[in-house]
Amino acid sequence: MQEETKEENSAAAQISENNELPEKSEKKVSDKNKQQKKKLHGRPPKKPLSKNKKTTGQLLIGFLVKIAVIAAATAAVLLFVLGVNVHYGNNMHPSVRDGDLVVSFRMQRPFLNAVVLYDCDGKTNVGRVVAMEGSVVAITDAGELTVNGIIPSEEVFYPTFKSENSEIQFPYTVEKGKVFILNDFRLDTYDSRSFGAVDIKDLKGPALFTMRRRGF
């Protein structure tokens, strides 16, 4: 009987110890968490590092790439789509005046009576198309202009005289692939009366609009 009692007491003691172990373990974990909280007390929490965060160098490179793309697009528009020119002089008065900004559309073919930008002698000029290829241009000594024997309908009130010391002979037949261009201020003869018809390849297209920059 004594032996049975001892065995029962031993088993009971072992069960009691086993019950106390989880409590001690939980207490240790709780104490550890409290210590960690004390260490972190008063310190701001650290922000997690973003994997997608770009460096200053990467941002600068991205900005420069955008600038390069915009510059390339602008250059392409100016080379192939639009012509831009600040006009100096009064050879196209009153339609285009000194200092006006003229913007043309390169992709449009010239047409009769159109104001166009064109290159001549390394300079961009402004003029009006008065005759297309195959047309016959004549200028009388009285200052009268005819195209194919007809006086053109135009809002130009100046007489049209021939250019002095010019090798251009009238009647003049406009060559294929060219146009005959005159200034609106016909007293200024630096146009097709001086250097002949202008090749269509040298045109920057008809004017889209003119921006007046020096008063009205």
Residue 111 confidence (pLDDT) above 70: yes
Digit-coded pLDDT (tens) for 141-181: 999 999 999 999 888 889 999 999 899 999 999 999 999 99
Contacts of 31 (CB under 8 A, 6+ apart): none
DSSP labels, 27-46: HHHHHHHHHHHHHHTTSPPP
- How much of the chain is in helix, strand and coil states, percent to nearest 5? 35, 25, 45
> What's the confidence (pLDDT) of residue 66?
78
Which range, of 21-30, 67-76, 105-114, averages the lowest pLDDT?
21-30
Structure confidence at residue 2 (pLDDT): 47
Q: What's the predicted TM-score (pTM) here? A: 0.65
DSSP codes joined into one string, 134-170: T-EEEE-TTS-EEETTB----S--S---PPTT----S
